[in-house]
Structure 1
Amino acid sequence: MSKTNLPNESIETYLIRRRALMRLGAMAGLGAALPGLRAQAQAKPATPLQFVGWQYNPQIVAQNVETFEQLYDENVNYQLIPGEYAPITETMLVAGKKFDMMYSEEATLARWITAGWAQDVDSMPDVAAIKASMVPVGVRNLSLPNGKLGGLPYYAGYGSFIYNEKHLDQAKLQPPTSWAEFLEQARQLKKDKIVEFPYVSAWAHQAPSFSWSLFSIWYSEGAKVFDANFDPVFDDKFTSVLEMHRTLYRERLVSPDIFTLPQEGVPSYATGQHTFAVIHDYDQKVLNDPKLSQCAGQVRNAIMPGATRSTFSWVSMYLMGAGAADPDRAWNLLRFFGGKAKDGQYHVIKRWALQFGLGTPYTEVMNDPEVAASFKSWKDTDVALQQLQNSTPRDVGKTLWYQDWDWYMMGAVQDYIRGSQPTSALVADLHKQVGVFKARYAT
């Protein structure tokens, strides 16, 4: 078993607080407004803007709401969703609840706009200038299949390949440039007893976990997975990644409990007992924090191994609710949280960058001297920029049926890794399920 009990309590507590995976009990009953905001709701405009969010540092979000209210002389009802954000929020939307602004991932972008719960922002003021201020891959991630801008960015991330420099120095190795080389290095590290389980990654059956890790590696090998028409392309590059995962598990190059490691394997890596990982890029900040990690100062980022050296990139976002009573007020709220406020400051985005290492598609923020200096303290920013520029958005994730297939895929791949099913049988089943889920959403 992977030992995560060394810095475990401190880093687990930090990650839980950072991603706010805590239950807030009676204080945060479904849709409950956070304390301190209710009293303000009686001031300023009589009708508050409705803002619903997921569980990531809600105390900071509440502070940001207060800043917006003061700057814009506004009134906002910020509601926190405990538990699984997307299905709970969707249940509320189906029941007729309306929001002026809501968090969204790629999976719910087109889904909620198609359902009439949210609207694109392509015709809102200054959108052309906003698009021009972002890196192209960020605009693409925020855009609908029809090219219209769906929302504004919450943060931008990608699958990052990291390694423990101390371990590679001991083994006299350089970071691998191919996955075949990666496998050989992992075997050597295990054989030489430098580490027992050289690799760790997010293999849990959760959308930001196993799926994102798999797609990062698929794209690094040049696997399309889906073509421009969103039809499956499950070729030899696709299957080689699946077979590598089975090899890692069978040769015990990953810990036996990798499917259940908490927080995408980050606390496990922080023990210093693993060499390689594919993580969300901002997690490197945690791993190089001596208060939270036993391998702080040793964790380096490298360009992904693979034929193309690409990776999966994404942008979480803010959507504007459909039929907002006052679109101008709602747009002000989106721009404050997802861009530059009327005072010329990136209040929210810069705070996320400095405090938690969250990236953004806005070049002005990434080039900000304070942000740049902060990022350089825990990662190689030249490598990070090169990796972001050579990243691949998952356009298929914006289709209505994809989320269902993705959930099925993760479970099927887990079973395949642990079992003896032929790779061809798994691929055939995954191909078949694309048709099944597409048919469910056919109109």
Structure 2
Amino acid sequence: MLPQEIIRRKGRAQALEAAEIQAFVRGLVDRSWTEGQVAAFAMAVCLRGMNRDECVALTQAMTDSGDRLDWSRARLNGPLLDKHSTGGVGDKVSLVLAPIVAACGGVVPMVSGRGLGHTGGTLDKLQALPGYMVTPRRTQLVRVLREAGCAIVGASSRIAPADRRLYAIRDVTATVESVPLITASILSKKLAAGLDALVMDVKLGNGAFCTESATADTLARSLVEVAVGAGLPTQALVTDMNQVLGSTAGNAVEVREAIDFLTGTARDPRLLALTLALAGRMLWLGGLASSPARGELQALQALDDGRAAERFERMVAGLGGPSRVLARGGAQLPAAPVQRVLAAPRAGVLASMDTRLLGLVVVALGGGRRRATDSVDPRVGLTRVLPVGSKVRAGDPLLRVHAANAADADAALQTLAQALAISDGPALPDPPVVRSVVGRPDRSG
């Protein structure tokens, strides 16, 4: 099949056959399609869209472009469950959710990514722990999944290689925001992971990719329908990202908050509510709870009785990190040498925050990436970020900046002063879970 004919048909808004989509994916991998042809196809999809069947075919072809993880001989003790977030600021849910679900009988082989742009990356956070390996050998990964029930790692280069090339081209051709291409990119890697069920966390708000409700709903619906169409039971939650999730944003500082959350030292109510909602649906889809609500109760019990914290400690030690990560000082997390407080300019209520700008401040401090090849400083970030709706007096701390030097801290404070709005009246923040998008679970296998 000629690439130009496939591009022409999609450019005329015609539905492509599965064989045509498979030809495109083969061309991605063997490079018989040029950069220009791939870019033209991506733009045609971005402008003309894809129907459900086309998107399922694209997702499955991209999944089949590389290895599929086969767990049949691994002797794992439970259903294989996972969660994926579309990205936000201060989103450390994966760090606490994976061990909670593991403590409730699930097995969580969570393939995560690094931060890019204003959103943080789970792998960068975990690598703030000295020695933590994000690319373990297969034998080590299986051992950790048996002993801890969860392992948060990076994707092998052999998983969905078609997506790697397509994403790089999308990134420089203004086609990143195509819902069908986002759907295929996310789900091809999840299908390759050999999961039994998946829950999607689609962020909505000024700190998210989806800033409009309609966009978030469209993406959530696409993810659920295509995943279910490809045979993976999936549900999605649309969740609020109009403020930092929890009280920290950065790498080491988010790991510290996650440890405090697991041990019960401190638990942000919004982070708790979202984590339990995701855990409840994962356990229900995996057949480990009779309903999402019952799953939430089981998750809370595993959190409160310390089983989830124990699973986290086993995972970290099994992947080369500190052996006593929960003990005081046991995490060996690096600390920034300079800390500065942003004080409230007047009395009132914290009415809103520009969450994306807060994420960009973390990047400017060195805690994130402008380009995929950039390194990160795990020490820097924001802590003690007050939630929207907090009452403050003049001079009260709104947050604390952790920086590598005084100049960086001062620059961050100047920007942050513009990102937080204080008003006289009350502020009603959105709930952490805005709505759910459900697919029909299939437990027939």
Instruction: Name the TM-score class by shorter chain.
Output: under 0.3
The normalised TM-score by structure 1 is 0.25
If asked which structure has higher relative contact order (CA below 8 Å, sep 6+), I would say 1
The normalised TM-score by structure 2 is 0.25
